[in-house]
Amino acid sequence: MVHRAATIPDAELSHSAWQGKTDGRKWMLQSLIFLFRWIDIRIFYAIMAFVVVFYMLINRKNYLAIKDFFRRRFGYGPFRTLRAVYASHFRFGQVVLDRFAFYAGRKFRIEIEHNEYYRELVSAPNGFIMLSSHIGNYELAGYSLHAEEKRVYTFVFAGEKEIVMKNRARFFGANNIEMVAVKRDLSHLFIANNALMEGNIVSMPGDRIFGSQKSVECNFLGAPAKFPLGPFALAVQRNVPILSIFVMKEGTRRYRILIDRIGPQDSEASKQMRMEQCAQEFAAQLERTVRRYPTQWFNYYDFWE
């Protein structure tokens, strides 16, 4: 599933310009996986509690973006904003550590809300789309939601570190998931279209504009924001259902997967109108989730630019 540890480049940020990958050299990441086999994850969390302060100071653009998020979108005062900014960075660090702990064989308790929506579509003959977002830890969905009846084609960032990609491939392969690298030539969309035609599943982010610059403006957290048109256009053109799936951290070793339906839309409306309806409904579901878990919003740039 598309979800990754992120670094923000020094260049001016936009939906299309943002790229993210896991920090650290190869030997460091390999050592982390080895250590997780022997050391309690809470010890790493304790170290992270101090390290994250320096990370906030060094990555000032990230800091200012998330500070603005809490001040303008939630109306927090200065002290509450500072506390929320720290909590967001700390939670993000935990999510990254959890991913490597999973690679090392550590187990997490995962509860699923509305799993019946997912199972219903998996057992149906037609394909469908799963939309994620850069909140929580969506990658864990690929290790928890099984679809033996269908193959899952999941969009992934092509520039991620090799060790991360190898571990993803190891676990995804065991769960009938094939990774599809997102490219600016839009070749990934042809793969997605064929997958849906064959009755399989396509997993993609619904909050990040990449490749095609076509977008739809939605009301999100009190202001207009641009969401990618592609996922919703694909769903309407192929006439397939959409599920939103958010994987949220709730404790040291506990996650909750939130599954919801998007649509169906008014069949009498034009295709363009149905695309926009789908996008706005996804934005509304994402907003409810962000309000429920505000410190797990991991878009460290001006989303409303």
Residue 57 lies in a domain: no
Whole-structure pTM value:
0.86
Instruction: For 157-179, give one letter per residue: b (16+ CB within 10 A) or e.
Output: beebbebbbebbeeebeeeebeb
Per-residue pLDDT tens, the chain, 305 aa: give them.
333 333 333 333 344 433 445 554 555 666 767 787 888 999 999 999 999 999 898 888 899 999 999 999 999 999 999 999 999 999 999 998 998 888 888 889 999 999 999 999 999 999 999 999 999 998 888 778 877 789 888 887 665 556 666 666 666 666 778 888 777 767 778 889 899 999 999 999 999 876 567 899 999 999 999 999 989 999 999 999 999 999 999 999 999 999 999 976 677 789 999 999 999 999 999 999 999 999 999 999 999 97
Does 264 sit behind a cis peptide bond, omega within 30 degrees of 0 on the bond before it? yes
Quick check: 127 and 198 in contact, CB under 8 A?
yes
* Residue type (1 letter), 220: F
Structure tokens at 117: 């929506």
Residue 228 lies in a domain: yes
Residue 87 lies in a domain: no
Residue 276 lies in a domain: yes
Closest to 251 measured CA to CA, from 54, 79, 56, 45: 45
Residue 91 lies in a domain: no
Residue 221 lies in a domain: yes
Residue 103 lies in a domain: no
* pLDDT at residue 172, rounded to an integer: 66
Degrees, nearest 5: CA angle 263-156-200: 50
Residue 63 lies in a domain: no
As a whole number of angstroms, the distance between CA 143 and CA 145 comes to: 6
* pLDDT at residue 117, rounded to an integer: 96
The three-state secondary structure class of 270 is coil
Domain carrying residue 238: 109-296
Instruction: For 128-156, give one letter per residue: b (16+ CB within 10 A) or e.
Output: bbbbbbbbbbbbbbbbbbebeebebbbbb
- How many domains does one find in the chain? 1
Structure tokens at 251: 């404790």
